[in-house]
Structure 1
Amino acid sequence: MAQNTNTQALSDAGVSIWLDDLSRQRMSSGNLQELIDTRNIVGVTTNPSIFQSAISGRSEYDEDINRLTGEGKDVEQIVEVLTTDDVRHAADLFADLHASTHGFDGRVSIEVDPRLAHDTDKTIAQAKHLFAVVDRENVFIKIPATEAGLPAITAAIAEGISINVTLIFSIERYLAVMDAYLTGLERAAKAGKDLAKIHSVASFFVSRVDTEIDGRLETLDTEDALALRGQAGVANAQVAFGKYLEVFASKRFEALQAEGANVQRPLWASTGVKNPEYPDTLYVDSLVADPSVNTMPEKTLEAVADHSEPQASLNAELATSAESVLERLTEAGVDLTDVFAVLEREGVEKFEKAWNELLDTVSESVEAARA
């Protein structure tokens, strides 16, 4: 099967396309393999919401739930088995790609329990645990970029665990994430770890920024404010790429690179367009960057395959230009510091809610199995 022309063009431009979804049905039906073969999918990311959607009301998991219930496992243990089994299976599908790209692609992400987002020590412990349970070199453990998550990122990287840092919204926090990664690499080097085997991506959220800021601009209801709708998410990510270029051209990283270290690629997350007034490929076409990852829900992926019109690849000049958009937002009366604090808090809360719903769903199945 041939790759789609539009997705191939993105791949050729340095964009690794990951599917923002995973389910047992998607793998068993051959759909995931088809997307690998025809849509340039080179990785998969998961989160609590994705697992809740995959498992809720699906018969594919019933046999395992019944068996695990019979073995005396509790609900949280069963959820761990179901989710890590799916991630392991997906990792195996990507194993050859992972090997051929020397660990760059062929990645599958699984997130630490979102209820631990503000507990550094427990996050570190679970990152180690999940890495051991999945037992695949091409797994990424997802750790949120909360204040408590930053030292956990450093500790996990220092242990040689590859990390997908999630829930990044602000430039300030993104700089702290890159520092946490470099500090982890420095500790790993001192401990004699092979830096070439440690990889990381930093998931910078896009559409949620527009949703929050557009609402505030509409409340302000001035001509200047309304003219800025739909610009914040892209501009914020473009500025972030400029910071990436600066950090990974620094002497600090050059010293690590000489020991085999890899860059921490920016990953554009939350790329499904939520406002129907905006082009449905907005957060793909406007964020072509080499290197980068764009993790897309299937609806966005198919829109890209059908009618993507990618813009010029991001560079330092475009990043500098995008800074003026953030300045204009501030001048219009948008409190960006508050925006990003709200988005981080709501992001953690949404994942906690989805995780608790997943536990409730499996709990019901367990009770039915025991009846």
Structure 2
Amino acid sequence: MTASALSQLHESQGQSLWLDNLSRELLEDDGLPRLIRDYGIRGVTSNPTIFKKAVVGSDYYTDDIAACKRQYDRIESVYEHLVVTDIRRACDMLRPVWEQSHGEDGWVSWEESPGIAHDAAESVRAAHHLRELVDRPNVLIKVPGTAEGIEAFETLISQGVSVNVTLLFSLDQVRRVFAAYRRGLEALEASGGRLNEVRAVASLFLSRVDTLVDRQLDEIGGERAESLKGRSALALAGMTYAHFREVFEGEGFERFEQRGAFPQTPLWASTGTKNPAYSDLLYVENVIAPRTINTLPDKTLEAFADHGKIASTLKPRYDEDRRVWDELADLGIDMDGAVRDQLLDEGVEQFQTSFDELLEAIEQA
């Protein structure tokens, strides 16, 4: 396959490709414009780990760091004003996609500080702060799928703030997030808000699910456990998509769509394969479906363009996915309990570590 063929994915299958990366280098060396133009990239996601990789050791930020440190006393303010330049520029580069798609795509995600993942009120305040700082209509604020994050998400939707709910690892989280979105839309509508001006996506971290579950299956041992390795994340994706269709393609959501509301789109994240024994496109080729998003790291995007195959793969798979889910439960693997909780805690902790290391690097620069 060629990059040109990949750029037709949205037209042929209804799936949007977003880039899971953002850096000053990507913006200044025609990287992002080229990916939009030649690969059909329709959005960008970022997180503290991505910005740490972008900033630490890069000459592209040296002058801006010095200027921001002269202007702001708090190191977090230095970070925000350093990064907001990249967010704004990416938003501007994707603005034509946002306009042509009437707000379906063309978004850039910016994550809140991981330190407020369990504080709903502060998450709401921070989302408004970051949104106002960017001052672009196509910015998505990333809020984690903690209980407090989901509470904040509902409030933000009711206030007309577009959100990417991130760090989702279970079907239970997905159900709660979709329900919160609908309640938020109802509150927004009741207050006279415009439903067509708010957007939400739900980001499931696929490869991280397999990494943990495969390790547990190895500990259990046996032929049955071995047969389930590498299948938990795809089962989660398939069941999420089935629930998405149930919630957003049925009669219950029609009245919202008639007022211009978008469904909350499943976004497949953590799609770079971590296990070298698996296909490098395991979390790409197997999760193609209409009205979904796949956000790809640069390496995975290049692999998809080089040797990927495009075909709708999620819709016919529901019975198989349900069997995988049930078999995991039979083996004592609690996907909506212990697995979810461990991955969510680890995800918040990993982002906090990256965030702290980034702030420290900026302070010492």
> Deviation string for 1:59-110 (max 9, x for gaps)?
1111111112222432111000011111011000011111111011111000
Aligned residue type for 1:46: S
The structural deviation recorded for 1:227 is 1.2
> Deviation string for 1:325-359 (max 9, x for gaps)?
11111223323221111111101111111111111
User: Counterpart in 2 of 1:326?
Assistant: 325
> Deviation string for 1:243-277 (max 9, x for gaps)?
00001134432222222211111100000000011
C-alpha spacing 1:24/1:242, structure 2 compared with 1 (3 Å): same
User: Counterpart in 1 of 2:180?
Assistant: 180
User: Counterpart in 1 of 2:94?
Assistant: 94
C-alpha spacing 1:319/1:7, structure 2 compared with 1 (3 Å): farther
Alignment of 1:240-251 (within 5 A): 240-251=240-251
The structural deviation recorded for 1:321 is 2.8
Alignment of 1:170-319 (within 5 A): 170-315=170-315, 317-319=316-318
Aligned residue type for 1:254: E
User: Counterpart in 2 of 1:335?
Assistant: 334
Aligned residue type for 1:174: V
> Deviation string for 1:129-178 (max 9, x for gaps)?
11111011010011111100111001111111111110111101100000
The structural deviation recorded for 1:22 is 0.2
Q: Residue 140 of structure 2: SS of its match in structure 1?
A: strand
CA separation in 2, counterparts of 1:348 and 1:72?
27
CA separation in 2, counterparts of 1:54 and 1:233?
28
Aligned residue type for 1:22: L
CA separation in 2, counterparts of 1:264 and 1:312?
20
Q: Is the 8 A contact 1:94 1:106 kept in 2?
A: yes
> Taking every aligned residue pair, what percent have the same amino acid on both sides?
39
Q: Is the 8 A contact 1:144 1:165 kept in 2?
A: yes
CA separation in 2, counterparts of 1:253 and 1:70?
50
Kindly indicate whether residue 127 of structure 2 is the aligned counterpart of residue 127 of structure 1: yes
Aligned residue type for 1:292: T
Q: How many equivalent residue pairs? A: 363
Q: Is the 8 A contact 2:19 2:44 kept in 1?
A: yes
User: Counterpart in 2 of 1:369?
Assistant: none
Provide the TM-score with structure 2 as the length reference: 0.97
C-alpha spacing 1:10/1:257, structure 2 compared with 1 (3 Å): closer
Query: Please, what is the CA RMSD of the aligned residues?
Result: 1.3
The structural deviation recorded for 1:12 is 2.0
Aligned residue type for 2:326: E
The structural deviation recorded for 1:48 is 0.5
The structural deviation recorded for 1:311 is 4.3
CA separation in 2, counterparts of 1:41 and 1:73?
37
- Give ranges in structure 2 of 5+ residues lacking alignment: none
C-alpha spacing 1:190/1:31, structure 2 compared with 1 (3 Å): same
CA separation in 2, counterparts of 1:229 and 1:3?
31
Larger deviation, residues 71-80 vs 18-27: 71-80
Q: Is the 8 A contact 1:288 1:314 kept in 2?
A: yes
User: Counterpart in 2 of 1:56?
Assistant: 56
Q: Is the 8 A contact 2:68 2:82 kept in 1?
A: no
The structural deviation recorded for 1:225 is 0.3
The structural deviation recorded for 1:307 is 0.7
Aligned residue type for 2:343: L
Q: Is the 8 A contact 1:22 1:46 kept in 2?
A: yes
The structural deviation recorded for 1:7 is 4.3
Runs of 4+ in 1 over 6 A off after TM superposition: none
Q: Is the 8 A contact 2:265 2:293 kept in 1?
A: yes
CA separation in 2, counterparts of 1:72 and 1:259?
43
CA separation in 2, counterparts of 1:238 and 1:288?
10
CA separation in 2, counterparts of 1:41 and 1:166?
20
Provide the TM-score with structure 1 as the length reference: 0.95
